[in-house]
Structure formats: structure tokens, C-alpha cells
Amino acid sequence: PSLFENMSAAENLELAAPRENTVPRTFFRREPVRLRQKAGEVLRRIGLSEKAGNMACELSHGERQWLEIGMLMMQGPKMMILDEPTAGMTAEETRLTGRMIQRLAGDRTVLVVEHDMDFVRQVARTVTVLHMGRVLAQGPLEEIEKDPRVVRVYLKSDGREREHA
């Protein structure tokens, strides 16, 4: 989802909530108390409670990423697909993002597309390695890192990532 730069973090979450199926309910007529409560809960889960009133444009890059994840959460998905959720984040933001994803995975499936192996180590339960559009290997990270096909294609012999991986 895209952020509304000149709206608060809480307002962005409220706008992301699914519309009611009754007509003519609009954003302004939806149950504002229930919506604010849900937004508050999501803000807590993504670590932005203290910044609920901040405009999206005032948030750091990592906080903006978290707000986008929060907007997805407002939809109540059973599965979330996150494509390189830590791209451009600081080391601390990356660590906090990993902790958040671990918490989110407790009540939904979270699929993460990521090349940062340190981050993958932090969040992965099962890893699927793709190469040229096909599944190369799948399983626990400890096994994947030792798979000779994965090592040959993506990892150096000492287990570290190649520059281009």
C-alpha cells in the first residue's frame, strides 16, 4: 500500500481498513471508535504507538515500512507477502523488523522474499531458494545453507553470501 504523506500514521491505518459492505457507508460513517481501537492495536504491534499522530512524511524509512505493514494488517489477512521488507533500513530497524515479523507470524502466514541472509536467519522457519524461476531447495535454513546446489549458486564455500546473490 502507498502512504498518504500528509496524514497521520493512525489516519493511514484507518483508511486502510476494509470498507463495510453496506451502502452508503463511507469512511466518515464507519464505526469510528472500533476503527480507532483497531488502528491503536496495530500501531502497538508495529511499534509506532508513540508516533500515532505523526504525519507519514515525518517518519523514518523503517517506520514508513512498518506503517505499510500495519496497513496490510488492518485488512486482517491470513497471509502476508513481504518483498524485501528491510531494504534501505538501518541495522537497528532491520533487527526490530525481524522481531515484528516473528510476532506477526504467530497468528498468520508471513512469506518474506529476502536476500539478506542475516535477516533470513532471524525470521525464517522454512526457506525456499529459487534459481532461474525454479525451486532449487526447500527446508530448514541449517539444511539449505549446507545444500551443495545452494552453496554453488548463491553462497561462497565458507557459507557467506556472494556479492550478487
Domain spans of the chain, in order of start: 1-76
Predicted local confidence at residue 32, as pLDDT = 79
pLDDT, tens digit (0-9, with 9 covering 90-100), for 82-127: 999 999 999 999 999 999 999 999 999 999 999 898 999 999 999 9
Report residues of the chain scoring pLDDT below 50.
163-165
Q: Which long-range contacts (CB under 8 A, 24 or more apart) does 29-33 make?
A: none
Task: Give the angle 98-163-118 at the CA atoms, nearest 5°.
Answer: 20
Predicted local confidence at residue 55, as pLDDT = 98
For the chain, the C-alpha Rg in angstroms (whole number) is 19
| Distant-in-sequence, close-in-space partners of 100: CB < 8 Å, separation ≥ 6 | 45, 46, 47, 66, 69
Predicted local confidence at residue 164, as pLDDT = 43
Predicted local confidence at residue 165, as pLDDT = 44
Predicted local confidence at residue 119, as pLDDT = 95
